[in-house]
Amino acid sequence: MIQKLCHLIASREHGGLEKHVADLSSWQARNTAAQITVIGHPRYQSTLNENVHFIPLNTDRSRHHPNLVWRLANQIRQGSFQITHGHGSKSAQLLAAVKPYTDALQVITRHNVRHPRDKLASTFDARIAISKSTVANSKLDWHIIPNGVPLPQPVANPRALAHTTGNRPTLLAASRLIKARGIDILIEAMTLVPDAQLLVVGDGPEKSALQQQAQALHLRDRVTFFSADNAITSFLQASDLVVIPARTEGTPYTLIEALLHRRPVIASDTGNAGEYLPEGYLLKELGAQTIAEKIQMAFAAPNKVQRDFTAVFDRAAKELTLDSMAQATWRVYRQLIA
């Protein structure tokens, strides 16, 4: 029986990996009898469920810092954890470093392909990847468990809904506003789709530059920005099509949320988008003209879009929920201690 379990997070961002840990640990605290703990930088404590025990650790230090490794090993020993579950490459490296000094079984989840070395991954008792593409070049055995999200009840957001007036088609882009997400290309594409409006939900270092770009292209009346504090559900309900023009991406949560809310998606062919989306809705090339053509194609044949996505929506409802992700992960743990 699993009684004590610990997650380790050692990143610096507040993105998909961090959401994954927060959602997974919360589900485990609510749905199992085990004591669930997260070790991580103090900035992450506020993102966790109140029933999740939190142990602060300054993981911003180098993974080679002897004090960091020593403190982590002590925390794991003192917690008497049966399983430690690391998320991301730095967590994997830290757990590998403390392995000789702890007795806990070790699990790693690979969230992207930035650290593809099998030599490190082979030291773990179990390996999880969020998509097949993440471990496409690995020769090891992996449990493929896609990210999943809960489906909250719709939360009305009059400001978002107010921008969807008349018969004007509405696009949605929701992500952290950094260069890698390609929102600048999508805004440029809006000059070629004159009848549509775009809702951009998110924050980040590029937000001001993107707002200035929209103004310079005379799109202020058709491109509207919203804070990431807003509930994404309302925006999904208000949109006709979700666009994910990422230059690089693992498994964007926007893709999952859109499919679970039965909204069609056009996305760059990165991460695991190709594992779910129909071929005609993948962006093989990232350019304003290409994005505009895909958008116009979708708006011109809405009935065909719905037919193309029916099976995709049904599959997402089975595979991409928080329950399905968390239950599959728990089965991996149970196999380890059986």
- Structural tokens at position 65: 């810092």
Give the chain's domains with CATH numbers.
Answer: 4-150+321-337 (3.40.50.2000), 158-319 (3.40.50.2000)
Tokens for 76? 């794991």
Q: Which two tokens stand for residue 88?
A: 């991301």
Contact 184, 210 (CB under 8 A): yes
Write the pLDDT tens digit of every residue in 41-81. Answer: 999 999 999 999 999 999 988 877 789 999 999 999 999 99
Beta strands 223-226 and 197-201 are parallel
pLDDT band at 154 (very low <50, low <70, confident <90, very high): low
> What pLDDT does 137 receive?
86
Kindly indicate the confidence band of residue 12, based on its pLDDT and cuts at 50, 70 and 90. confident
CA dist 205 to 169, 208, 223, 243, Å?
A: 28, 7, 18, 20
Half-sphere exposure of 240 (CA within 13 A, CB side): 23
pLDDT in tens, 268-318: 988 788 889 999 999 999 999 999 999 999 999 999 999 999 999 999 999
